[in-house]
């Protein structure tokens, strides 16, 4: 078995893991990233990047390249209820240049992050799956990863679990994940050709005849649709067959009926997202820290996951550099990242639950008061506060370029 010795082993080369790897490498830390997939293609992931994440990635020098690979700018978010626009959030009112919702395929972002990591000598073990942790007593001192050439041991002063919502690292460390079924909906994602063209730059939620639908333009020329269905309701729906599903989709978004007929020909054309929120009970152990979806998982509503993953990396960076320099990567030292970050995450979760109830839930009382509440909200300072929170997350999280040595 080959062994690699490094300072930090990051498990998972998604937005959280690669951003952290780049920050650490630029600060003179030796980093190895272990990523299960050999290519940049991932199972369907989020694409909408909020202004806060854009600003951090721009400062890190990767946003322009990701944008150049192809993206769409969306200037507004609209909530449309039976043809009436109830909420119209104009991102152009935010300070330029990060005053849009950016729809950028995750492979474009990851390709840029990987290229930048390569320039700063990050060891990337793509096509390697972490299957076990290495321990010295209770302390975590590395991982075992299986790749095309067999099992490798990566020994590190600190392991970072950035391996997503079903984190293997978290499970191997024996950390419980508190799953909160606070959302009433799951989402079925699918794509159809975009016939409106670039003139439709907005992210929308439609409420119409059926279940609400999320919609945005996806690079290069498709419309990404997310049809909400009752939580855990997919099995019963699928049992009624694809014709029934097509009819329900068409009831929800009749304007796309012909395209749904043509492009949703089998249930396999739809991707189910089990929508839940979760937070790992602990984000740290001696020699281990969790970030991104591995530490906290979110609903796709409000497009928060990538922002939070990037911000986690930026927030952990100075804490980890300091811990490595002082030779103390115990849980207590790493908690200097986790303790202040948890309230941010709780706040996002509370906002998402409110957004979900306000826009997706359906009952006669809510349907009746929804237009008035939306009108009221649009004309109060609360609107700007909520917009800033959704767009930026915690604005105090700033890149520590003063720690860069290259």
Ligand X SMILES: Cc1cc2nc3c(=O)[nH]c(=O)nc-3n(C[C@H](O)[C@H](O)[C@H](O)COP(=O)(O)OP(=O)(O)OC[C@H]3O[C@@H](n4cnc5c(N)ncnc54)[C@H](O)[C@@H]3O)c2cc1C
List of residues contacting ligand X (CB under 6 A): 11-17, 34-37, 42, 44-48, 129-130, 162-164, 168, 189, 273, 292-293, 300, 303-307, 309
Nearer to ligand X, 13 or 318 (CB): 13
If the CB atoms of residues 157 and 298 are measured against ligand X, the closer one turns out to be 298
Shortest distance, CB of residue 34 to ligand X, whole angstroms?
Answer: 5
Closer residue to ligand X in complex, CB, 34/173: 34
**Residue 167 neighbours by CB distance under 10 Å:** 24
119's CB contacts (< 8 A; 6+ apart) are none
Residue 291 beta carbon to ligand X: minimum distance, rounded to whole angstroms: 7
Complex with ligand X: residue 56 or 370, whichever CB lies closer: 56
Minimum CB–partner distance for residue 71 and ligand X (Å)? 13
**Phi, psi at 147, each rounded to 5°:** -130, -170
3-state SS, residue 145: strand
Rounded to a whole number of angstroms, the minimum distance from the CB of residue 348 to ligand X is: 11
Q: What is the smallest separation between the CB atom of 376 and ligand X, expressed in angstroms?
A: 27
Give the torsion through C-alpha atoms of 301, 304, 309, 315, to 10 deg: -150
What lies within 8 Å, CB to CB, of 22 at 6+ separation is 60, 62, 113, 116, 117, 120, 122
CB nearer to ligand X: pick between 175 and 370: 175
Q: What share of the chain is helix, strand, coil (3-state, %, to 5)?
A: 40, 30, 30
Helix ranges restricted to H, 27-101: 51-59, 63-68
Q: Which is nearer to ligand X, 189 or 219 (CB)?
A: 189
Beta carbons within 8 Å of 79's beta carbon, 6+ residues apart: 85, 86, 87, 88, 204, 205, 207, 359, 374
As measured in angstroms, the least distance from the Cβ of 363 to ligand X is 26
Degrees, nearest 5: CA angle 126-159-404: 85
Provide the pairing of β-strand 76-81 with 2-11: unpaired
CB of 69 or CB of 257, closer to ligand X? 69
Contact 231, 186 (CB under 8 A): yes
Q: CB of residue 92 vs ligand X: minimum separation in angstroms?
A: 20
């Amino acid at each position: 078995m080959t062994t690699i010795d490094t300072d930090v082993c990051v498990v998972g080369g998604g937005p959280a893991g690669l951003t952290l790897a780049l920050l650490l490498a630029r600060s003179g830390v030796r980093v190895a990233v272990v990523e299960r997939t050999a290519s940049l293609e991932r199972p369907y992931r989020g694409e909408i990047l909020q202004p806060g994440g854009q600003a951090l990635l721009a400062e890190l020098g990767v946003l322009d390249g990701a944008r150049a690979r192809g993206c769409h700018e969306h200037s507004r978010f609209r909530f449309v209820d039976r043809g009436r626009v109830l909420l119209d959030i104009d991102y152009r009112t935010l300070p330029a240049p990060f005053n849009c919702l950016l729809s950028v395929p995750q492979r474009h972002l990851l390709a840029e992050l990987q290229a930048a990591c390569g320039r700063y000598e990050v060891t990337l073990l793509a096509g390697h799956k972490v299957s076990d942790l290495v321990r010295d007593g209770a302390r975590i001192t590395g991982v075992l990863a299986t790749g095309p050439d067999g099992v490798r041991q990566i020994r590190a002063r600190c392991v970072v679990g950035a391996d997503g919502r079903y984190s293997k690292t978290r499970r191997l460390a024996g950390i419980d994940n508190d799953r909160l079924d606070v959302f009433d909906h799951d989402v079925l994602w699918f794509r159809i050709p975009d016939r409106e063209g670039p003139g439709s730059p907005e992210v929308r939620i439609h409420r119409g005849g059926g279940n609400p639908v999320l919609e945005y333009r996806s690079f290069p020329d498709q419309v990404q649709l997310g049809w909400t269905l009752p939580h855990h309701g997919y099995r019963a729906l699928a049992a009624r067959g694809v014709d029934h599903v097509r009819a329900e989709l068409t009831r929800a978004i009749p304007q796309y009926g012909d395209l749904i007929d043509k492009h949703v020909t089998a249930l396999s054309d739809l991707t189910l997202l089990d929508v839940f929120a979760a937070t790992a009970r602990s984000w740290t152990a001696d020699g281990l820290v969790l970030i991104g979806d591995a530490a906290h998982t979110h609903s796709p509503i409000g497009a928060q996951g990538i922002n939070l993953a990037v911000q986690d990396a930026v927030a952990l960076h100075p804490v980890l550099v300091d811990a490595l320099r002082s030779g103390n990567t115990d849980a207590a030292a790493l908690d200097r990242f986790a303790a202040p970050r948890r309230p941010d995450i709780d706040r996002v979760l509370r906002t998402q639950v409110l957004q979900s109830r306000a826009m997706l839930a359906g009952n006669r009382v809510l349907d009746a008061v929804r237009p008035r509440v939306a009108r009221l909200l649009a004309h109060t300072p609360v609107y700007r506060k909520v917009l800033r929170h959704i767009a930026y997350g915690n604005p105090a999280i700033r890149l520590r370029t003063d720690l860069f040595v290259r």
